[in-house]
Each structure stands twice: as structure tokens, then as C-alpha cells.
Amino acid sequence: MENTMKKYKVIALSALIAAGFTSCDLTEKPTSYYEKDTYFETMDQAKMSVVGIYDCLAIDKHYGQYEMAMPASDDTYYIQGTGTDNTRRDIAHYMVKPTNTWIASIWEYKYLGIDRANFSIAGIEQMTGYEEDSNLKELVAQARFLRAFLAFDLIKYWGDVPFKTTYTAGYEEAFKGRVSREEIYDQIIVDLNFAKENLQKDNASLSPEVPSQGAAHALLMRVYLQRAGYSLQQDGTLTRPDETKRKEYFNAVIAEWTAFQNKGNHGFYTGGFEQLFRGYSEGILNSQESLWEIAFNPTGAGYKDNAGTWATYNGPAVEAPGKNAPADAWGRANAFFRVLPAWKNFFEEGDERRDVMVCTYQYKWNANAGKHDKVENAKLTDWYPGKWRREWMPGGFVDPNNTGVNYCPLRFADVVLMAAEAYNETGNTPEAWKLLNMVRERAKATPITDANYSSLMKAPQVYDLPYIQDGDAAGKFRTALYWERGFELAFEGQRKYDLLRWGILGDALKFFQGNMDKTLKGKYVAGDKFVKGQHELFPIPLGELQANPALNNQNNPGYE
């Protein structure tokens, strides 16, 4: 697959049309304003409506920064500082309250994105010639993919929530009561089934900044796995479907994996694991391993509307450049997150993922030399997630914090491991091992066999896990999968929700806190703060409870 620099086709349009979806009381309407009933007259207008959905994701208060806190803390990383802030720290340390301002913003932008998707889908579908026009159907497929992606976030974060597939045209349509997550899941699957047949077909020349059919298959696999697992119900119980339903969902994962393989054009990035992540920071696109990337605009474009903070808030620390700074000096990296240092020792010596996952250094500004100096950190509390880094980005910056680094929520290695899990849970453990070992071999880790299982998956190489039983073949695979998804996918947004659907989130947090290095005492507190039957879900924002009478002032379990 060919590597290319980012083109920002999505972002360039979004800056032009965002105002087209807002109300306006001016006597003379601006040129960016369109009446709903007459908006969908041209292909360009249809395209702009879909770009407006992307615009809801690619901002600081959504996937640009705030979303970074939602999957933390898990058993791989945490946020520095435990003082309450009513934003990221409270989220990551399981101290979150309904007044949390980041939770409120994320709720707002997910619903705004869904509403824009509803607007686009209904509008494009009524356009003349829609049924015969594959380009219009592809735009609807993008809108339905994005609606499914955002709706899935709603389920993972809040469980049963208000949800509808019609555009909110007035006050009387704005407030709805909770809808069962099972009903929302059904709609997500309908949307993705449409998307997997009508999105652009995967090929080497595509930009991953627009989802393709492979991305829809992959997201369906993730949805089925999450649906098959545990989730917190409104009565405070943690339940999962019966075994018949679970088998149905696992078989659906395998069916999507088979279709994904048959369509081809995706695989492991051939440049190696480190270069895969260097490429994200460098602004290089490849459609080989990346199935979909949320695109952020580089700071050099001269505006910040779609500039994220990947590689600054979740990478190694970089001191702000000062005296004698040249034009191509790096911007700063505030490094809010810290990695649990034990993971560095869990990897085999030759595993290429170890030094990408765990970064043990930072950069200090050397005013005399006019450059940044690399400084090794002796303190384990100053080890950082390393998948996105300032040092891998092009030099120079406009804003000291913002970057143009994309976030990739779906990549090939994750798809392989999802398929492996489904095979194991349906009794085909040999095929599961085959797939898991493909991921290990790419990273130059030793393939796991019956002969070496204990040396690789038991102490002292890793922890002996009290919450996963490995007395049979399926249990051994579950243990290996627990570690492998950590090795491969740490910090990428999936780990916390893996642990949750497996029913071991609280157990893992407490176990890792109990085994952490003594220097982390009082810093990694997730095990103490996590409350089972509450923190599997976030609170509905207080402002939403107060504004929406259909919610009956009832928050999620454990939140007042």
C-alpha cells in the first residue's frame, strides 16, 4: 500500500460549512445558511452535509482531546494528578460526577453528530435519482457509518440513552426518554450492514480519512463483541446475554471477518510496528493497516478549529522551546498521561512494541544550543505512553499544544484479534491461536504454543491473573488474549471496554494497583476509586437531566 501525506479533504470542507447547520435570526441570511427543505439540491450540498458530521468528531472538545480521558484509567495507563478537576482527572480516576464539564461536552457532540447524520441521511435519500446514484448512496453510507460509530459510543459510555434516527427540527422533538441499548444496537447493525455494501471499496489509493467497506465490517465485529459481553443495567446489575445469543454474536463476528478477508486490500503495515506509529505523528497516510482515521488539520494551515492534541497530551513530555528557538523547533507536550511501568517488563526482549508502548524519557529545552535535549527519566512515575510523540512530528508549530496527528480507531491488527476471540468462544481455539500468533509474529514476539505457554503467559514473565481461569484450552487463549490486546492496542481506546465486556474491569484495576511499584502509591488510584455497579457507566450530565423531563431526573446507577 502506498504511503501519502495527509490531504485533509474532509477537514478543508468542514471549516466552510459548519455554520450551515446552525439557526440564524438575522434578517438577511448568510451565504452559508440553507433552508432544510431546499438544501439537498446538488451533489456538493449533499457532500457538505456529510462533512458536517465529520466536523463534530474532529474538534478539541470531542476526539481532539476530551475523548482521551474516556478510556482511562485501565490496567495500562492513568492520568497524572489525583486532585479533583471536574474534567479529565475525575473521569480517569473514577471520581466523575454529573457536573463534569468534559462529560457534558462529549455528550453534546455525540448527539450533535447523530443529529447531523439524521439530517444528511433523510435529505440525501429524498434527492432525485437517489436509488440509481451510487455516489449519493456512498454519502448516505458514510453518514450511517458515522451515526453507528457515535451511537456505539453512547451505549458504551451511558447504556440506555435517548436515541432517534430523525432530525430534530424543533423544540418538541428535542427531548426523548431512554431507549433500550438493545434497540440501539439493532439500529447500529442496520446502519453498518448498509455501510459495508455502499461505502467506497477498499483499495491501495484510498485515504483512510474516509471509511471504506472494510471499516464497516471491522466496526460491526467490535459491536457484536461488545454486545456479547457484560454491561451495566439500570438496576445496577452487570449482565451479559445468554449463551445462545452470545454464540450468535460470535458467529456474526466470524461472518464479518470472512467477508472482510474476501474483500482484501488490508493487512499489517509492512514497514514495522514502530514506523506505523511514527507515520501517524509524521502525518503520513497508509490504507494498509489503518481502516479509518479521524482527521485533524495540521497547525500549519493557520487555524485551530480542527487541530487535535494527539502527541502532546498523550505522549512523552517536551518542554516548550524558549531562547534561541529556530523556526523548526518542536512545540511543547504537556504529557498528562502516565504508563504503568510494569508493562515494560511484560514484553519479551525482542518485541518491537515494548519501546513504542512505554517511553522512558522526555525532552528539555537547551537554550544555549537552541534545541531539545533527550533526558532519561529515572522516576517510574515519569514514564509515558509512547505511541504518539512530538519527536516524530515535523518541526515547527503555530500553536504550542495543537497538532495535526490523526487518531485511528480501527486498524487491521485489532480486527485479527477480534476474529481470534470469536473463534475461541465458538470452539475453534486452534484457529484463534493461529490469528493471535500472526499479530505476535509481526511484532517479532515468539508465537505461543502449548510448550511455551507457561513461560510466556505466567509469572515471572507476566502476572498470574486471578480473574481469568486457564485450566483448559479456551482459558489459556483468553489469558493470552488479555495480554496480547494490551501489548498491541494499549492507549488506543479499546482496553477499558475490553475489560468491561469481559466482566473484569474492577478486578483488573484493583489487581494492578495492588501489584504496582510503591512509587506509584497515591498516583494510580483507580483500584481504590472504582465502584462496581456504578463506574462501568458514566453519569448523564446534570444539565441534560435538568433540561430533559423525559429522563425523569433519573441518572445512571450510583450517581445522584
Q: What is the pLDDT of residues 118-141, one digit of tens each?
A: 999 999 999 999 999 999 999 999
Of 327, 274, 292, the residue nearest 146 (C-alpha): 292
The whole-number pLDDT of residue 299 equals 52
- pLDDT at position 161: 97
- The confidence score (pLDDT) of residue 504 equals 98
What was the pLDDT predicted at 560? 81
Collect the ranges in the chain with pLDDT lower than 50: 1-2, 7-34, 301-302
pLDDT of residue 98: 98
Residue ranges covered by each domain of the chain: 302-403
- What does the alpha-carbon distance between residue 223 and residue 178 come to, in Å, rounded to a whole number? 20
Question: Between the CA of residue 184 and those of 147, 181, 233, 355, 432, what are the distances in Å?
Answer: 11, 5, 14, 40, 30
- Separation CA 275–CA 126 (nearest Å): 45
SS3 527: helix
Residue pair 490/77 in contact by the 8 Å Cβ criterion: yes
Supply the mean pLDDT for the chain.
91
- Angle between helix 473-489 and helix 412-425 axes, rounded to 10 deg: 170
pLDDT at 307: 80
Read off the amino acid at residue 326.
P
Give the model's pLDDT for residue 33: 40
At 504 the three-state DSSP class reads: coil
Task: Give per-residue pLDDT as tens, 494-518.
Answer: 999 999 999 999 999 999 999 999 9
pTM over 0.75: yes
Residues 257, 264: Cα–Cα separation, whole Å? 11
Q: What is the 3-state secondary structure (H, E, C) of 434-481?
A: HHHHHHHHHCCCCCCCCCCHHHHHCCCCCCCCCCCCCCCHHHHHHHHH
pLDDT for 26 equals 27
Query: Quick one: pLDDT at residue 36?
Result: 57
